[in-house]
Amino acid sequence: MGLIRTALRKPISILVLVAALFFFGINAVRTIKIDIFPDIDLPVIYLSHPYGGLTPDQMEAYFGKNYVNLMLYVSGVKSIETKNITGLTLMKLTFYEGTNMAQAAAEVTAFSNRAQAIFPPGTNPPFIIRFDASTLPVGQLIISSPKRSNNELLDLGNTYVRAGFTSIPGLVAPAPFGGNSRTIVIKADPALLRSHNMTPDQLVAALRVNNQTTPAGNVRIGDKNYFTPTNTTIKDVKDFGNIPLYTGSVQNLYVKDVATVEDGADITAGYVLINGKRSVYLPITKSAAASTWEVVQNLKKAIPRFQSLLPEDVKLTYEFDQSVYVINAVKSLLSEGAIGAILTGLMVLLFLGDARGALIVILTIPTCVISGVLFLSLFHQTINIMTLSGLSLAIGILVDESTVTIENIHQHLDMGKPKALAIWDACKEIAFSKLLILLCILAVFAPAFTMGGIPGSLFLPLALAIGFSMITSYMMAQTLVPVLANWLMKEHNNKKHAKKGKKGINQDDTIFIESGIDPATEGDTWYQREVVEEQAKADKHKKVKGFDKFRERFIRFIQRMMPFRAPIVLVYIVGAMALAVYFLGTIGRDVLPKSNAGQFQVRISDADGTRIEKTERDVLKALDILNSIVGKENISITSSMVGMHGSTFSTNPIYLFMAGTQDAVIQVALKEDYKVDMDELKDKFRARMKQEMPGIQMSFEPIELTDKILSQGSPTPIEVKLMGKNKKQNEEYAYKVIDKLKQIPYLRDVKLGSAIHAPAISIDIDRVRVAQLGTNMNDVSRSLVAATSSSRFTEKNIWLDQKIQLAYNVQVEVPENEMTSMDDIREIPINPNSARPVLGDVATIKADTIYGENDNLGVIPVLSVTANLYKKDLGTASHDVDKAIASIGQLPRGLTIATKGLTEVLNETLSSLQTGLLVAVIVIYLMLTANFQSFKVSLVVLCTVPAVLVGSLGLLLLTGSTLNLQSYMGMIMSVGVSISNSVLLVTNAEELRMKNGDALLAAREAASLRLRPILMTSVAMVVGMIPMASGFGEAGDQAAPLGRAVIGGLVASTFAALLILPLVFAWVQKKTSTQSPSLDPEDKESVLFGALIIAGTLNSCSSKEKKEKAAEEQKLEAAPPATEVFTLQKGKLSSSLQTPGELIAFQQVDIYAKVTSFVQKLHVDVGSEVTTGQLLATMEAPEITSQLAGAQSRLKAQEAIYIASKSNYDRLYETSQTPGTVAQNDLDQAMAKKNADLAQFEAAKSAYKEVADTKSYLEIRAPFTGVVSARNVNTGAYVGPAGKGSEFPLFTLQEQKHLRLVISVPEAYTDYLNNKSSVTFSVRAIPGQQFTAKVARLSGALDSKLRSERVEMDVENNNKKLLPGMVAEVNIPFPANDSAFIVPKTAIVNSTEKMAVIKVVNGKAQWVAVKKGREADGKVEVFGELFPGDEIVTAANEEIRDGAAVNVKQAQQLK
């Protein structure tokens, strides 16, 4: 009331405030950003990583899964989806709401940089793009020319057009679609290469050394500092042909001799067709903070400037303009607002017959709408389809506050009051009711602030638009309306009053006297109404107006229903709820209303791996079919993307995903004057395509931004995802799902979402063969890449265009038309300067298939099945699809099938809205309960809600609309308005009941009093919604369900409020007391008077009990908890050691050749069992035989010489017996010669024996009985003790029937083993069988590195089941020798100070330091100052402190 009083006292100030709102509001209308959607802050980041030439399988293994493992470290990640296609990994990271996306983007960047270390060489960092609604294109800037190729157009667009986008604020655009980057291409001729014994990689090497990017240095000569640029980079394209291929000779071979050089483009991956002709377009996107409308308008203004930079034959046009959608919606809002305002004014005029009052109501509408725009701008909102829907909806209810105020002023004027007083009383009387009504309407939109995800992003701007407009409307009703009413409205008392009354009586008093109202009753307007009504009844001659007659008939009708109020109310409640439930189960469900926009997008797919040339022909034929259906004159433009995006433009798949050369996407815009049912047109197109192109699969995809944003990347409304580790199993069940979905009659375009049978030519290279033929895998792979792809991916080379100062790639490739068969692949040369080998010599080449696309959720493979709808709502379709999936039966373990895509958004949206509506009703109920101080009265107010549901759902069903975001908004608004009408009536009824104590009379009087304002506000709002509900104008079919839901809900709730609500109030409140519910003991009206004294008495009585209970609890808390102990005893602890061991042969020897020789014959082979001395091999050495013969001849010669000298000596000796016959000197010389010849003879014998012994080494014999485990030579092999032929032994001989088991025993266990110990062991090759062995040899020393003792055991292996080299798991038992104290492991405390057990002595804890011995079965030996019978704590911990009191639980003996 203070607001009203201030307005009446300072009316000029109010006008100034309204003028200020108009001024700043109009400025806000001029400057506010216009966008298609509100700021939908999708928590999504895309990561795009190209690596040319890799298959989808390689991209998944090398990049996709490695990225997933690293991205799991990023904070807030909700899901990670990857698509792996040829040469590209595209990753979508979705985050939880509320995640700081700036931090998330920084973390993604950091971890992606870290990942580069694990990727293949030459990897560049990925593109990382923050994705939101603004990322989607809002149009296409098309570049076309009648004579230029698409590659030329792409280079022009990228160089001159896209580079100029920086001059347009907020404009962002990815790389052009439809061409490939300009490249200097060196096309090698395979036949010429073979004729010169060259490989493609030799061209790459020559290019590398002859075209280099080097920095220019400086030379300082005199006073000048000279730059020294060199021509290390080739200047003219034609000069690439003059690159020499060899060095060191005047006569040479050049690139032009074996290849051609072209200023062309990278290998063609895809085309763009505009109206069937190859062109290029740039998708136009904007930054998140920019206005779509402004960006597009500025771009259109800049097109002539861009055009001037291009050749005359190149044209720029802007097509598929999405900004027109929102600006036309603004125009529709203006027209709907004007129509709604006029119709609302007519309704006021009809009910009140007051043109001035109608004018006041109409004037408030633009004020409130403009103020709403002003506040939207202040809160950083934009004009978009949701705020426009909110403002359109607000127009119908803005008049509510003003209409109720004008109507109540008329009631007080009808009572005969002076105008100023009537206005004051009328405004004051309903001030609180209007505030309550405002709060009720705002409350229904309060859940918008708690809703998350896309529904919250869409609902909040709409709620703000309505809220700001409604608050302004309330303020206008409280301030501007009473001011304008004072100035414009007339008094209803038509008698002429004197300017001055009788002496002492002014004009207003005179009016009071004539009205029969005592001025002293001014504070009680209800009493005044009773007086006026009694006067009216007494005046038999007073003419009853038309509406008064209607009111009397209405009251009589209510009076007749009063006796039957209980059954009527019950029938209403039960019937309305039943109908609402039935309608909810019947009505269709969609995220947004279906629009019949004159454009569509369709993806056509040929067989997996189809060449783009064939796909292009298919697209042209499909366009011809479309022209024959629609008529070429009715098509505004078609834009087709055929094949894949170029490897240079790895971000383009984010905007339009193309999985392979077999795919094409066609976008079609029909002319505005061509009207057609899009569902029918699409079905005709499907039928013709199936008839004329049966091998083509097609699927219609969303083209409008609303559908693209809401689908969150799903290509169709229905998308079923199969997730499982087994790809083959996923494929099997995907076809089962397809079969099931095809049985649903209204599903269309049911297909697998990715190519899984892409044709491939498998090249299996034999590395051993490669090495044998004198080449290597590097040469093979580089030649293969250059021949089948290009050197772009293996050798970076740059050429600088001197004219425009731009750098371009240079690559070597074999022309595509020269590599057309498997034979061509087999003939690829791989060894430089050699005709052979070719690829076919070292590789097996065969046809194969691979996955053309690998999709993953996390690291789990995913397959998608997609389907479109034909004249069916998404909710019903999702339910039927779920049933079809369930009918497949039990799924294998690890396989999950789920319906994704738009279905998830639908469920999330409707669930949020249903929760929001329920929360709104609860909030309103609690608010009304607080106001009325009665739960029953609040329930009475809410009894119109079922009628709203029935009315809204019923009209939606009648008009063929679905339950969607827009219609839900209408229902929620209808609930708010219906509750406001109920509040208006019930508030008056409760006030009357509190005065007269009669609920029936109060209900009847309140219905009579509020009949006209309820009808006025409801009819005015219904009439205001008619333009919206009609669905005319731009995007009218999108907003129509909102208007229809409001109209249906309001019509039904108005009848319920006027007919049912009085009955409900009379029934519920009939026996309700008028006693105040106050609990204040000092309140005289309170029924609890004196409760304070009673409460004090009860409090004093219970204080003693509380004290006693507290003392008892304190006592319990002071007692220590019970601790379990056991009695300590000595025992024996047997344990064992599990350790690995190695089985080795008892004897093993490598047998080498003693002498240099050739292998003449091998007598044994691998696996042969031999005995000691058995001949293994016979060697051949001719030089040894010659040496033996020479030694033998020398021996015989020396023998003859010795015999002769001995005979001579013997004769001389015999003769010397006769004295004087032989001189002694001669005898001595003969003896000396004999001895010398004997020595020579003995030397000859030794030499002969040596050679003979060496010859025996030509027979290789076994040194012991065993098995030949290795043979490394063949017959004829050259062997010897050193040099070539001595690297490997001839044979390896092992004794296998007797093995050694070798183990290393740790130092702590060495004392438990001796030479008689037995152990058991097992080997993995023979599971379930235990073997035994005995310790035979102990080393007696510890290994310095391992600190362990080597122990050997003998193992008998007569059956040879055990093989040398096997690893054994050895179990060594350690029986206890002496008894020791045994405690459980839990009894030992291992603190930072010492290891101890806790002994309990006289109820106190005593820590005893111990040392551990052996452990086994959870028990351990301890050594310390312990004695048998000690009580030890079973579960010791550091909380049981030394000396602390211990409450022994129950002593038990440790077993």
Is residue 1404 within 8 Å of 1371, Cβ to Cβ? no
CA of 1148: how far to CAs of 1219, 1263, 1285, 1355, 1364, in Å? 72, 10, 21, 15, 10
Residue 1108: how many other CB atoms lie within 10 Å: 10
Sign of the C-alpha dihedral, residues 473, 477, 478, 482?
positive
CA of 124: how far to CAs of 105, 266, 1280, in Å? 18, 18, 55
With H, G, I as helix, E, B as strand and everything else as coil, classify residue 998.
coil
Q: Residue 494: its pLDDT value, please?
A: 47
| Cα 308-313-314 angle, rounded to 5 deg | 60
Least confident of 154-158, 326-330, 564-568: 326-330
Model confidence pLDDT, tens digit, residues 680-707: 899 999 999 999 998 899 999 888 777 7
How do beta strands 277-286 and 171-172 pair?
A: antiparallel
Model confidence pLDDT, tens digit, residues 790-807: 887 778 888 888 888 888
Please compute the mean of the pLDDT values over residues 953-961 and round it to a whole number: 90
Q: Residue 1116: its pLDDT value, please?
A: 47
Q: Residue 498: its pLDDT value, please?
A: 40
d(CA 162, CA 156): 9
With H, G, I as helix, E, B as strand and everything else as coil, classify residue 1161.
strand
End-to-end C-alpha distance for the chain, whole angstroms: 88
Scanning 44-189, the segments in alpha helix (DSSP H) are 56-59, 65-71, 101-115, 150-156
d(CA 786, CA 799): 18
How do beta strands 1380-1384 and 1419-1424 pair?
A: antiparallel
Most confident of 84-93, 138-147, 316-325, 709-718: 84-93
d(CA 1325, CA 1368): 10
d(CA 899, CA 880): 11
| Cα 669-674-677 angle, rounded to 5 deg | 85
Please compute the mean of the pLDDT values over residues 164-176 and round it to a whole number: 84
How do beta strands 1452-1453 and 1125-1127 pair?
A: parallel
pLDDT band at 527 (very low <50, low <70, confident <90, very high): very low
Q: Residue 621: its pLDDT value, please?
A: 93
Least confident of 544-548, 696-700, 1227-1231, 1267-1271: 544-548
pLDDT band at 364 (very low <50, low <70, confident <90, very high): confident
Model confidence pLDDT, tens digit, residues 1277-1298: 888 876 556 678 889 999 989 9
Asked if residue 14 has pLDDT above 80, the reply is yes
How do beta strands 77-85 and 854-857 pair?
A: antiparallel
Model confidence pLDDT, tens digit, residues 407-420: 778 777 777 777 78
Is residue 1150 within 8 Å of 1279, Cβ to Cβ? no
Query: Tokens for 350?
Result: 């009809």
The mean pLDDT of the chain is 82
Least confident of 43-52, 1109-1118, 1201-1210: 1109-1118
| Cα 702-456-454 angle, rounded to 5 deg | 25
Asked if residue 514 has pLDDT above 80, the reply is no
The interaxial angle of helices 1011-1030 and 999-1009, nearest 10 deg, is 50
Model confidence pLDDT, tens digit, residues 366-378: 888 888 889 988 8
Q: Which residue has the higher pLDDT, 517 or 655?
A: 655
d(CA 907, CA 893): 27
Is residue 477 within 8 Å of 400, Cβ to Cβ? no
Least confident of 251-265, 849-863, 1213-1227: 1213-1227
Is the pTM higher than 0.75? The answer reads: no
d(CA 1444, CA 1436): 13
pLDDT band at 571 (very low <50, low <70, confident <90, very high): very high
Asked if residue 1104 has pLDDT above 60, the reply is no
Q: Residue 436: its pLDDT value, please?
A: 80
d(CA 1409, CA 1400): 14
| Cα 1448-1454-1455 angle, rounded to 5 deg | 155
Q: Residue 525: its pLDDT value, please?
A: 55
pLDDT band at 721 (very low <50, low <70, confident <90, very high): very high
pLDDT band at 921 (very low <50, low <70, confident <90, very high): confident
With a pLDDT cut of 70, the percent of the chain lying above it is 89
pLDDT band at 1127 (very low <50, low <70, confident <90, very high): confident
With H, G, I as helix, E, B as strand and everything else as coil, classify residue 197.
coil
Model confidence pLDDT, tens digit, residues 1018-1069: 887 787 777 778 776 555 677 788 888 989 998 999 999 888 888 888 888 8
Is residue 216 within 8 Å of 298, Cβ to Cβ? no
Query: Tokens for 215?
Result: 């920095």
**Which of 914, 916, 903, 823 lies closest to 864, judged by CA?**
903
How do beta strands 1447-1448 and 1431-1433 pair?
A: unpaired
Asked if residue 446 has pLDDT above 80, the reply is no
Helix count and strand count (H, E) for the chain: 42, 51
DSSP 160: I
Q: Which residue has the higher pLDDT, 385 or 162?
A: 162
Q: Residue 1216: its pLDDT value, please?
A: 79
pLDDT band at 497 (very low <50, low <70, confident <90, very high): very low
Model confidence pLDDT, tens digit, residues 612-651: 889 989 999 999 999 999 988 899 889 999 988 877 778 8
Most confident of 431-445, 1189-1203, 1265-1279: 1265-1279
d(CA 392, CA 1227): 153
Phi, psi of 1213, rounded to the nearest 5 degrees: -65, -45
Q: Residue 91: its pLDDT value, please?
A: 93
Is residue 1018 within 8 Å of 1010, Cβ to Cβ? no
Least confident of 263-267, 286-290, 867-871, 964-968: 286-290
Least confident of 101-105, 188-192, 286-290: 286-290
**Which of 1210, 1189, 1201 lies closest to 1239, judged by CA?**
1201
H/E stretch holding 914: helix 902-932
Q: Which residue has the tokens 């005065």?
A: 995
Asked if residue 128 has pLDDT above 80, the reply is yes
Residue 1328: how many other CB atoms lie within 10 Å: 5
Asked if residue 108 has pLDDT above 90, the reply is yes
Is residue 1336 within 8 Å of 1304, Cβ to Cβ? no
Please compute the mean of the pLDDT values over residues 980-1007 and round it to a whole number: 82
Q: Which residue has the higher pLDDT, 1196 or 793?
A: 1196
Phi, psi of 888, rounded to the nearest 5 degrees: -65, -30
With a pLDDT cut of 90, the percent of the chain lying above it is 14
Query: Tokens for 710?
Result: 């809401």
| Cα 279-280-283 angle, rounded to 5 deg | 145
Q: Residue 1078: its pLDDT value, please?
A: 67
Please compute the mean of the pLDDT values over residues 482-506 and round it to a whole number: 63
Please compute the mean of the pLDDT values over residues 518-523 and round it to a whole number: 52
Query: Tokens for 728?
Result: 């083959």
